[in-house]
Amino acid sequence: MSKYDEMITVVPRATIFNNEAYQFNGFKSIQDEETKYIYETIKQYEVKRRGDMEEDPSYKQLISYCILENENNEVLVYERLSGGGEGRLHGLSSIGVGGHMNDVPNATNVEEVINENAKRELEEEVGLNEEAVTNLELIGFINDDENDVGKVHIGLVFKLNVTKSSVSAIETDTLKIDWISKNDLSNDKNYETWSGLIIEGLYKRGV
């Protein structure tokens, strides 16, 4: 099946941003009142064909975006290689492991939907099993409407503490991974937009 035929979860832009009243660019903590509203709208997700959504900014595609920190106070940084699925992001570095979210038919609530999708991506991309992701924590949202990729996506940002030895690039043709100290994270790398915004909004203020 083509990636464009994948059925993904989306929320109408007018719904998720309360008719633009809560629109933002950058990282917003889950503790913010506007962010809590945005989180509640996720329950109203719809399932649509990815190919139709990629060019339709009236919907926001839900993306899991998980930051991994290890016991040495380091953050996982990876580069998307040419074998990866999203051509617009090839050659860029990222601190978020994740991807599109699919429906979870047997889920009893939206928390199950977003957590199951995040866990699936972590297993597929960096080999983390169920036991390794028990402390997965949703910490906020990332949004950037100033570029073509960002206009049609919104990221649910998770944080996960892991042991360094438990993480590896499963598909070495799509990812090249490295670990960088929190104190050394900076925008001098060729980061994708979301990662640059999270580094500025999260790590530069010492959260």
Instruction: Share the mean pLDDT of the chain.
Output: 90
pLDDT, residue 183, reads 85
Decide if pLDDT at 84 tops 60: no
Q: Which CATH superfamily is domain 3-203 in?
A: Nucleoside Triphosphate Pyrophosphohydrolase (3.90.79.10)
The CA-atom distances, in angstroms, between 19 and each of 58, 59, 150, 154 are 11, 12, 18, 15
Decide if pLDDT at 77 tops 70: yes
Confidence of residue 186 (pLDDT cuts 50, 70, 90): confident
Say if pTM beats, i.e. exceeds, 0.95.
Answer: no
pLDDT, residue 176, reads 85
The CA-atom distances, in angstroms, between 104 and each of 9, 63, 139 are 10, 14, 22
pLDDT, residue 37, reads 97
The domains of the chain are located at 3-203
| Residue whose tokens read 């670990």 | 179
